[in-house]
């Protein structure tokens, strides 16, 4: 299955792109599997990929929650920002 | 004399009456009609009011009350009626809404990028009482985006500078100044007197402090944050809805997220985000529309998109204020008890080993360099910063997040002097390199700015 991953703010700089399509195979269909896959595909994401809160289909997930993904889902990595 | 005035008045009143009784127009027609008829209508209102005997004027005033408790709201003076006329003809504001705004109060945390546009518009809109918390003074580097300040107020405290501009825009606004840092000791007292808080702070500890204090006091918190070309807005602590801790349960490690001073910010960005915050403040005060609670709005100026993510309340209840510097992993600033509590919280949130590198001041580094010290000089700022100002003897420029990637190219048998702009990112870079086994690391305290101020005044300070 394929999911769309969107990168915001510093994640976009680290990833070097605004969005990518990620293919997850077989039982690897959770947000944890996606984090692992993202670090494989884009090693520069290593410092942020494990801790960042994910928004799946426009809804924030609980930190530490391993959400099951399905084909066509949109996952956003929205890093915290604090400027004012 | 009086007769003449009344005749003029009658003629103008007839004109005004014709305008009011004409069928409502929509779209472009209404917009085109407004400028032409607006001015005589205002004059008519004032002169007509002067000509109406007192008992009738009183009746006129009563007809503006909606009979739903708004009788307790302050009345509008004739000056205010003229000033707010575009609001008064707006159905969702009207006379009652404008009186509501006049009776309302807003506290802006920070008179910086977000606070500037928000304060300008909230004051212009007629919010009755505006409080401003900021302990900073106006600096040249602020003027690219902090539009409430100006060249004429450089060096002036931001709260004073903001008040001057606000009172020029709208002398009807009561402005209250807090030229101090918001802390765990004063936050509850300052916030409790206001209807809504607008968070325009520029750091994580203050954002958590504002959040917790607003939740504890039951005050809605209109949150905004910006960096680069992106901004976030949400309304927290609104009618039991989610708060900042639902968005960000654990603060990021210090230095992981650049500030605007480090990462840069498009000057217009806080204009957009601050105005959205001000819009939400007005809606909350008026009790109109769908408030941005339970949703995070993310604005991307480069893509010109607004995206939303739903946010649910899930965090633990907030028991009281803590030391937020410590909570966010910075050195605690306040009392010993709070410091101890924060240190424990910080240890849980950021289990970090003590730094394994030396710190050296600009003065000490200059003296050592003059007496033959020859370290490898690593600049961990962004390439665009190095173009503004660089140490002439720097050996390599690589952003602090990427130092691990170039570790193989760095000498292990030589001292390495690491610097950034003010010392924060270079400290992170030293930690990263120390973890990779580098032992001869020196962090230049105060960064290139300290060097420019203390050693080499020919360098640009940015």
The two tokens of residue B375 are: 């370290």
Q: Does B329 touch chain A (CB under 8 A)?
A: no
Q: Does A81 touch chain B (CB under 8 A)?
A: yes
Residue B146 confidence class, pLDDT cut points 50, 70, 90? very high
Number of domains, chain B:
3
Read off the pLDDT of each residue in B95-123 and give the average, rounded to a whole number: 98
Flag whether pLDDT at B37 surpasses 70.
no
Flag whether pLDDT at A3 surpasses 50.
yes
Residues B260 and B375 in one domain: no
Q: Is residue B330 part of a domain?
A: no
B309–A53: do the CB atoms touch at under 8 Å?
Answer: no
pLDDT of residue B348: 57
B250 CB neighbours in chain A (<8 A) are 51, 63
Closest residue in chain A to residue B199, using alpha carbons only: A84
Residues 86-145 of B with CB under 8 A from A: 110, 112-115
Neighbouring CB atoms inside 10 A of B221's CB total 26
| Residue partners of B265: CB distance under 8 A and separation at least 6 | A83, B113, B145, B226, B227, B228
Which of A18, A62, A84 shows the shortest C-beta gap to B226?
Answer: A84
B112 CB neighbours in chain A (<8 A) are 84
B308–A62: do the CB atoms touch at under 8 Å?
Answer: no
Residues 12-51 of A with CB under 8 A from B: 14, 18, 44, 47-48, 51
Q: Which domain holds residue B81?
A: 2-62+72-95
- pLDDT more than 90, % of chain B: 73
Q: Does A64 touch chain B (CB under 8 A)?
A: no
pLDDT of residue B332: 58
Q: Is residue B331 part of a domain?
A: no
Q: Is residue B335 part of a domain?
A: no
pLDDT of residue B413: 94
Compute φ and ψ for B421, nearest 5 degrees.
Answer: -80, -55
Residues B309 and B382 in one domain: no
Residue B1 confidence class, pLDDT cut points 50, 70, 90? very low
pLDDT of residue B60: 39
Q: Among B261, B270, B257, B262, which residue's Cα sits nearest to residue B230?
A: B270
Domain ranges within chain A, ordered by starting residue = 2-78
Residues B132 and B237 in one domain: yes
What pLDDT digit, counting tens, does each position of B354-369 carry? 668 999 999 999 999 9
| Residue partners of B107: CB distance under 8 A and separation at least 6 | B130, B131, B132, B133, B190, B191, B193, B194, B196, B197, B198
Q: How far away is chain B from the Cα of A77, in angstroms, using its nearest Cα?
A: 11
Residues B108 and B83 in one domain: no
The residue ranking higher by pLDDT, B442 or B20, is: B442
Flag whether pLDDT at B65 surpasses 90.
no
Q: Does A60 touch chain B (CB under 8 A)?
A: yes
Q: Is residue B348 part of a domain?
A: no
What pLDDT digit, counting tens, does each position of B77-100 carry? 999 999 999 999 999 999 999 999
Q: Going by DSSP bridges, is the β-strand pair B105-109/A74-77 parallel, antiparallel, or unpaired?
A: unpaired
Q: Is residue B140 part of a domain?
A: yes
Closest residue in chain A to residue B204, using alpha carbons only: A82
The residue ranking higher by pLDDT, B272 or B260, is: B272
B315 CB neighbours in chain A (<8 A) are none
Residues B122 and B91 in one domain: no
B298–A78: do the CB atoms touch at under 8 Å?
Answer: yes
Residue B14 confidence class, pLDDT cut points 50, 70, 90? very low
Q: Tell me the pLDDT of chain B averaged across its residues.
A: 85
Distance CA B98, CA B270 (A): 26
Read off the pLDDT of each residue in B263-291 and give the average, rounded to a whole number: 97
What pLDDT digit, counting tens, does each position of B218-260 carry? 999 999 999 999 999 999 999 999 999 999 998 988 877 878 8
Residues B199 and B316 in one domain: yes
pLDDT of residue B272: 98
Q: Is residue B339 part of a domain?
A: no
B257 CB neighbours in chain A (<8 A) are 10, 79-82
Residues B114 and B229 in one domain: yes
Residues 356-415 of B with CB under 8 A from A: 401-402
Residues B389 and B293 in one domain: no
Residues B250 and B378 in one domain: no
Flag whether pLDDT at B165 surpasses 70.
yes
Structural domain ending residue among the three candidates B321, B345, B379: B321
Flag whether pLDDT at B447 surpasses 50.
yes
State the complex-level ipTM: 0.89
What pLDDT digit, counting tens, does each position of A30-69 carry? 999 999 999 999 998 988 888 888 999 999 988 778 999 9
Flag whether pLDDT at B2 surpasses 50.
no
What is the pTM assigned to this prediction?
0.77
pLDDT of residue B56: 44
A60–B310: do the CB atoms touch at under 8 Å?
Answer: yes
A9-18, A19-28, B30-39, B124-133: range with highest mean pLDDT: B124-133
| Residue partners of A11: CB distance under 8 A and separation at least 6 | A45, A48, A52, A77, A78, A79
Q: CA distances (Å), B61 to each of B16, B55, B95, B221, in order?
A: 18, 10, 10, 34
Flag whether pLDDT at B263 surpasses 50.
yes
Residues B123 and B272 in one domain: yes
Q: Is residue B332 part of a domain?
A: no
Q: What CATH class is the domain A2-78?
A: alpha beta
Which residue numbers of B are catalytic?
260, 420
Residues B20 and B165 in one domain: no
A83–B263: do the CB atoms touch at under 8 Å?
Answer: yes
Q: What is the CATH number of the domain that holds B380?
A: 3.40.250.10
Residue B120, SS3 per DSSP: helix
Residue B340 confidence class, pLDDT cut points 50, 70, 90? low
Residues 152-181 of B with CB under 8 A from A: none
B224–A84: do the CB atoms touch at under 8 Å?
Answer: yes
Q: Is residue B307 part of a domain?
A: yes
Structural domain ending residue among the three candidates B271, B297, B321: B321
Residues B116 and B231 in one domain: yes
Which of A63, A80, A84 shows the shortest C-beta gap to B114?
Answer: A84
B248–A53: do the CB atoms touch at under 8 Å?
Answer: yes
Which one of B112, B144, B230, B277 makes the best mutation probe of the A interface by having the most chain A beta carbons within 10 Å? B230
pLDDT of residue B354: 61
DSSP string over B160-224: HHHHHHHHHH-TTSEEEEE-S---TTTHHHHHTT-SEEEE---SHHHHHHHHHHHHHHT--EEEE
Q: Does B246 touch chain A (CB under 8 A)?
A: yes
């Amino acid at each position: 299955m394929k999911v769309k991953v969107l990168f915001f703010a510093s994640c976009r700089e680290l990833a070097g792109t605004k969005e990518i399509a990620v293919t997850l195979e077989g039982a690897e269909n959770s947000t944890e599997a996606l984090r692992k896959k993202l670090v494989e595909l884009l090693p520069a994401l290593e410092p942020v990929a494990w801790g960042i809160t994910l928004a799946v289909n426009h809804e924030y997930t609980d930190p530490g929650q391993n959400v099951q993904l399905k084909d066509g889902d949109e996952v956003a990595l929205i890093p915290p920002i604090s400027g004012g | 004399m009086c007769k003449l005035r009344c005749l003029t008045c009658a003629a103008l009143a007839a004109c005004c009456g014709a305008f009011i009784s004409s069928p409502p127009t929509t779209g472009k027609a209404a917009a085109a009609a407004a400028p032409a008829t607006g001015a005589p209508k205002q004059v008519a209102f004032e002169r007509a009011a002067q000509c109406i005997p007192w008992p009738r004027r009183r009746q006129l005033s009563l007809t503006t009350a909606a009979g739903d408790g708004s009788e307790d709201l302050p009345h509008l003076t004739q000056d205010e009626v003229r000033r707010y006329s575009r609001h008064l003809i707006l159905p969702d504001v009207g006379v009652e809404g404008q009186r509501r705004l006049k009776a309302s109060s807003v506290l802006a945390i920070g008179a910086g990028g977000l606070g500037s546009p928000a304060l300008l518009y909230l004051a212009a809109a007629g919010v009755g009482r505006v409080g401003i918390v900021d302990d900073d003074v106006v600096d040249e580097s602020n003027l690219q985006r902090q539009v409430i300040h100006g060249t004429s107020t450089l060096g002036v405290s931001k709260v004073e500078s903001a008040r001057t501009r606000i009172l020029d825009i709208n002398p009807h606004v009561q402005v209250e100044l807090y030229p101090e840092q918001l802390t765990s000791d004063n936050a509850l007292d300052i916030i409790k007197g206001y209807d809504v808080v607008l968070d325009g702070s520029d750091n994580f500890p203050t954002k958590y402090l504002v959040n917790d204090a607003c939740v504890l006091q039951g005050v809605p918190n209109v949150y905004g944050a910006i960096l680069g070309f992106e901004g976030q807005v949400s309304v927290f602590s609104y009618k039991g809805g989610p708060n900042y801790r639902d968005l960000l349960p654990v603060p990021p490690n210090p230095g992981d997220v650049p500030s605007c001073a480090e990462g840069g910010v498009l000057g217009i960005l806080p204009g957009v985000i601050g105005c959205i915050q001000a819009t939400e403040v007005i809606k909350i005060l008026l009790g109109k529309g769908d408030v941005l609670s339970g949703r995070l709005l993310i604005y991307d100026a480069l893509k010109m998109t607004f995206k939303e993510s739903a946010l649910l309340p899930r965090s633990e209840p907030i028991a009281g204020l803590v030391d937020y510097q410590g909570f966010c992993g910075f050195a605690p600033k306040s009392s010993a008890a709070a410091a101890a509590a924060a240190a424990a919280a910080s240890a849980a949130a950021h289990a970090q080993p003590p730094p394994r590198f030396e710190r050296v001041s600009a003065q000490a580094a200059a003296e050592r360099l003059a007496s033959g010290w020859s370290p490898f000089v690593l600049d961990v700022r962004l390439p665009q910063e190095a173009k503004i100002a660089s140490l002439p003897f720097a050996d390599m420029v690589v952003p602090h997040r990427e130092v691990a990637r170039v570790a193989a190219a760095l000498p292990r048998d030589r001292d390495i002097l690491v610097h950034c702009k003010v010392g924060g990112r270079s400290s992170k870079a030293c930690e990263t390199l120390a973890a990779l086994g580098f032992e001869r690391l020196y962090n230049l305290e105060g960064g290139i700015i300290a060097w420019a101020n203390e050693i080499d005044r020919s360098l640009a300070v940015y």
